């Protein structure tokens, strides 16, 4: 669009074109070569680089958050599994003790009184 505004051309015959240059465009181009123009360009470049860095950082932050959430889920599942295993071990131990007591009780009740002692 600036190029269209910059050069308004007319065909004046024999393939020769009359080009008109908008003085406002020249002033803008010259402003970029002054110290103020250079500083403005530098600030724009720095701002662009900051935005690019923030975009990159946001991707890394998202990925880090996703990994932390995944690790928390895995940790919670491992904890729940260890609780289930611990409960199973306690139940097996208790069942073994109950069976031993039942066997002792059954052995005690099945032997007649006095059969185990010799007098």
Express as a percent the part of the chain with pLDDT over 90: 38
pLDDT of residue 5: 45
Give me the domain span that covers residue 73: 47-108
Query: Do 36 and 42 form a contact (C-beta atoms < 8 A)?
Result: no
pLDDT tens column, 92-115: 999 999 999 999 999 998 876 655
Structure tokens, 48: 């662009």
Cα–Cα distances in angstroms (integers) from residue 92 to residues 95, 96, 105, 106, in the given order: 5, 6, 20, 21
Number of domains composing the chain: 1
Confirm whether 20 is domain-assigned: no
Strand ranges for 1-119 from DSSP E: 7-11, 17-21
Confirm whether 31 is domain-assigned: no
Q: Has residue 3 got a pLDDT over 70? A: no
Q: Has residue 11 got a pLDDT over 50? A: no
Confirm whether 25 is domain-assigned: no
Confirm whether 114 is domain-assigned: no
Confirm whether 118 is domain-assigned: no
pLDDT tens column, 24-60: 666 665 555 677 777 888 888 898 888 888 888 888 8
Confirm whether 87 is domain-assigned: yes
Confirm whether 91 is domain-assigned: yes
pTM higher than 0.85: no
Q: How far is the C-alpha of 90 from the C-alpha of 92, rounded, in Å?
A: 6
**Which comes out higher in pLDDT, residue 54 or 72?**
72
Confirm whether 29 is domain-assigned: no
């Amino acid at each position: 669009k600036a190029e269209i505004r910059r050069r308004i051309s007319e065909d004046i015959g024999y393939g020769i074109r009359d080009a008109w240059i908008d003085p406002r465009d020249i002033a803008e181009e010259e402003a970029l070569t002054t110290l103020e123009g250079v500083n403005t360009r530098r600030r724009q470049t720095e701002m662009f680089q900051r935005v690019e860095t923030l975009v990159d950082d946001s991707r890394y932050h998202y990925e880090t958050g996703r990994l932390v959430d995944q690790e928390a889920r895995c940790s919670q599942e491992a904890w729940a599994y260890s609780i289930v295993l611990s409960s199973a071990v306690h139940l097996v131990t208790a069942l073994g003790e109950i069976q031993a007591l039942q066997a002792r009780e059954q052995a005690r009740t099945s032997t007649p009184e006095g059969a185990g002692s010799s007098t």
